Amino acid sequence: MPMPRLVLRRRTLAEVVGRCTSSRQERVFVGIGRVEGDRYVVEEVFECKNISPFPETRFVADPMCMYRVYVYAEERGWEIAVLIHSHPAPPAPSSEDLKGMKMWRVPWLIVDSSSGAHRAWMLVDDRLQEVALDLL
């Protein structure tokens, strides 16, 4: 199977990284767009409130925000194409992220909130695989 590819605008990535590196809490975003085989093309990105009781080290996206973004995507014939969040650590999935990846089988873009470094990952056949990032 070819390596999954996440297609995202440079401007959008820069905005997300900027929001993540200016916060001491984990930030969470949902990207919607088109899934074309192994390509996840992001058209729009929305931030959802982190409602975790421990927002400095964990994230839980506000379920009403997730619902609204999902409905908005459906109205346009799109779907959720990426989940994005920050960590106060290098951009690799945590054990909590791996649990979430089993439920959300899309790329997860993780941003290191201290350095701005970022990498994308997803579970493919239940194995963690890095996702190539194609910037427009």
Q: What are the tens digits of pLDDT across the range 78-116?
A: 999 999 999 989 999 999 999 999 999 999 999 999 999
Give the pLDDT confidence score for residue 1 in this predicted structure: 62
Whether residue 10 contacts residue 41, with contact meaning beta carbons closer than 8 Å, is answered with no
Give the pLDDT confidence score for residue 22 in this predicted structure: 87
Q: What are the tens digits of pLDDT across the range 113-124?
A: 999 999 999 999
Task: Provide the pairing of β-strand 28-36 with 39-48.
Answer: antiparallel
Alpha-carbon distance 131 to 91, whole Å? 12
Domain 5-135 indexed as CATH 3.40.30.10:
no
More confident residue, 47 or 125: 47
Alpha-carbon distance 49 to 66, whole Å? 10
Q: Give the pLDDT band of residue 40 (cuts 50, 70, 90).
A: very high
CA distances from 124 to 16, 96, 98, 132 (A): 25, 17, 12, 13
* Segments making up each domain of the chain, as ranges: 5-135
The single-letter DSSP state of residue 126 is T
